[in-house]
């Protein structure tokens, strides 16, 4: 994933337009925005008051991190972190600075693997369980070969009216057409999409059931998401960046260094495709 948890997170389901609701997964990210597991909806008021009274420490978000995982690692809650950092959603981005309660915060997570690799991270708590369950489940499924997956991506792009070279380049960067790939942020399959992104695409875009462990559905979701980004972004570069970092994050903060590298890699791959 995507990805930062490039992740490779699901768009907020509000009354806003589709353009405004686009947030990133990653596929990936493969992506840290678009789409995290088991989120805590609210924090007790007492916890918030205690945190406000402490001297917070600062950490840097890495690709694959989620707000839930950060909360678990620092013995706090999602709601408390959102209040401490004045966040309006659960979405965080690689390179973002976050305040965490207490003066003795754990060291930041290791730097992410270079873009284009699907490196198993070291998730914690329920995220670790979800990743393990996904890997076990996908291992039991019959999956297409890389050659077959490539053809499936190309066909899905043609069907969606998306530049096939762009779709192939993103899939190459995300997973190398490995239908069994599962990242540490639970981004799944060829397109490295998060389950919550697939759910959103299923309900709001394609209007049909989608199974992220099924290669055909996984590719359909990733291609549909990429098509939305192309339509919503101001440029192809911004759309590619949005697949990795999240379009909302790119618009708010610009492209982080690893996002720029991701975009450059995707464009280089695209240029080589005939």
What is each CA distance from 250 to 22, 63, 148, 229, in whole angstroms? 11, 14, 33, 12
Tens of pLDDT, residues 6-25: 444 334 333 333 333 344 44
Alpha helices in 140-256 (DSSP H): 146-160, 164-175, 195-200, 215-232, 236-245, 247-253
Report all structural domains of the chain as residue ranges with CATH numbers, in order of start: 1-274 (1.10.530.10)
**Res. 41 pLDDT band, cuts 50 70 90:** very low
Structural contact between residues 152 and 215, judged by C-beta atoms closer than 8 angstroms = yes
Tens of pLDDT, residues 138-161: 999 999 999 999 999 999 999 999
Q: What b-and-e string marks burial along 233-243, b requiring 16 or more CB atoms within 10 Å of the CB?
A: beebbbbbbbb
Query: Hey, what are 32's tokens?
Result: 């840290």
Tens of pLDDT, residues 196-232: 889 999 999 999 999 999 999 999 999 999 999 999 9
Whole-angstrom Cα distance, residue 40 to residue 100?
Answer: 16
Strand partners, 193: 188
What is each CA distance from 26 to 37, 43, 54, 93, in whole angstroms? 14, 27, 34, 11
Query: Hey, what are 272's tokens?
Result: 């080589």
Whole-angstrom Cα distance, residue 35 to residue 21?
Answer: 13
Query: Hey, what are 141's tokens?
Result: 């499924």
More confident residue, 266 or 71: 266
pTM: 0.60
């Amino acid at each position: 994933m995507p990805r930062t948890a490039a992740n490779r997170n699901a768009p907020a389901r509000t009354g806003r337009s589709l353009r405004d609701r686009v947030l990133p997964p990653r596929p990936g990210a493969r992506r840290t925005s678009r789409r995290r597991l088991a989120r805590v909806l609210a924090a007790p008021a007492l916890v918030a008051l205690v945190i406000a009274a402490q001297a917070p420490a600062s950490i840097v978000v890495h690709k694959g991190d989620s707000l839930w995982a950060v909360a678990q690692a620092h013995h706090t809650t999602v709601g408390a972190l959102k209040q401490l950092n004045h966040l309006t959603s659960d979405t965080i981005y690689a390179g973002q600075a976050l305040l965490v309660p207490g003066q003795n915060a754990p060291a930041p997570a290791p730097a992410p693997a270079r873009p284009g690799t699907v490196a198993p991270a070291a998730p914690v708590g329920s995220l670790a369980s979800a990743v393990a369950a996904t890997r076990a489940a996908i291992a039991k499924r019959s999956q297409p070969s890389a050659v077959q997956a490539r053809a499936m991506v190309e066909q899905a792009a043609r069907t969606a009216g998306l530049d096939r070279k762009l779709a192939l380049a993103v899939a190459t960067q995300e997973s190398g057409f490995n239908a069994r790939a599962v990242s540490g942020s639970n981004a799944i399959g060829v397109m490295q999409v998060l389950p919550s992104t697939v759910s959103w695409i299923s309900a709001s875009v394609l209007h049909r059931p989608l199974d992220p462990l099924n290669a055909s559905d996984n590719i359909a979701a990733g291609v549909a998401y990429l098509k939305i980004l192309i339509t919503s972004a101001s440029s192809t570069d911004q759309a590619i960046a949005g697949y990795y970092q999240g379009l909302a994050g790119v618009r708010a903060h610009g492209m982080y260094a690893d996002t720029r590298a991701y975009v450059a890699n995707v464009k280089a791959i695209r240029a080589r495709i005939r």
